[in-house]
Amino acid sequence: MNKLKVVVTRRWPSEVETQLKALYDVQLNESDVPLNADQLKHALQTADAVLTTVTDAITADVLNVDNKRAKIIGQFGVGYNNIDIQAAKAQRLIVTNTPHVLTDCTADIAMLLLLMSARRASEGERLVRNGQWTGWSPTQLLGQKVTGKTLGLIGFGRIAQAMAKKAHHGFDMKILFYVPSSTPEQHIIDDLQATRCDSVEDLLAQSDFVSLHCPGGAATKHLINEARLKLMRPTAHLINTARGDVVDSHALINALKSGWIAGAGLDVYENEPNLNPEFLSLNNVSLLPHLGSSTQETRIAMGNRVLANIGEFFAGHAPNDRVV
């Protein structure tokens, strides 16, 4: 019996690729260069499943290609704003993602960026690496204390709650959160002694640190803009491990240059990897290359989650992590 054909658009951990080879007629991306639109269309035409990542632009044009063979897109990641979900739905394509398994590691990165920004760690490392450090000084690189401060979370899903747990129980931080609709379970709020804010503006005005945990897409594009940045305290820091387009890059750069806020920690960017070059000249921003889920354990777990989803689909069952 012939094996089902699967196309994987990027390199995955070797442990997962080995499983894919055993189970399917798999086409791996040995070069790890993101596929272009024509290559993605060809994948949809020649494979039973296409396994994508956030770097793949799965547009309506790609999804509407004629003579599709694929019936399922298995996204390697919890976010899926790189996929035109409405077009996928119209084409009756199943789309799955990989929630749950990357929660803690992404929350760890958010906490890392918060600490880096507050304590000016990026500046300090550059000073040492560039041979410019002349020794300890009472006024050198004075940052801000983290313990006991107020953390505001925009979005309060699994990753935000994991960060809040680390911040509250580890650093005795006061937790504020804003979500536009659903209310978290009361026992979670009680455990974190968290307070829900009525609006984004209310949260920004009260927080020493603001961390973004909302999905990307049209509804949240430039949620953090010039007007909202001006509501933040001049000693406050903005942390983004969500999606780059949630923040207006030009407005944030202006805020950092003008002193509207003290600093920022970013793991995601508009138009990544082509981030605005002005970020590179700023000392008061810590920059990471989208490391949120980048641990061996998490990336293997993400791959296994995709395997489970497509395995369920091919067995005639509904995948657990179906998006559409």
pLDDT digits (tens, 9 = 90+) for 263-296: 999 999 999 999 999 999 999 999 999 999 999 9
Sheet order of strands, 94-96 included: 25-27, 5-8, 49-52, 72-75, 94-96
CB 237 within 8 A of CB 264: yes
In angstroms, rounded to a whole number, what is the distance separating the alpha carbons of residues 81 and 70?
A: 20
Q: Which overall architecture, per CATH, does domain 103-287 show?
A: 3-Layer(aba) Sandwich (3.40)
| pTM of the model as a whole | 0.96
Superfamily of segment(s) 5-101+296-314: NAD(P)-binding Rossmann-like Domain (3.40.50.720)
DSSP class per residue in 112-168: HHHHHHHTTHHHHHHHHHTT------TTTT-----TT-EEEEES-SHHHHHHHHHHH
Q: What is the pLDDT of residues 96-124, one digit of tens each?
A: 999 999 999 999 999 999 999 999 999 99
Mark the ranges of the chain whose per-residue pLDDT is less than 70. none
Residue with tokens 């000249």: 281
Distance (Å, whole) CA 208 – CA 122: 19
By the 8 A CB rule, do 298 and 13 touch?
no
Catalytic residue positions, numbered: 243, 272, 290
Tell me the domain boundaries of the chain. 5-101+296-314, 103-287
Q: Which residue has the tokens 């995709």?
A: 306
Nearest-5° Cα angle at 267, 103 to 238:
95
State the Cα–Cα distance between residues 292 and 106, nearest whole angstrom. 4
Amino acid type, 69: R
Query: What pLDDT score was predicted for residue 143?
Result: 98
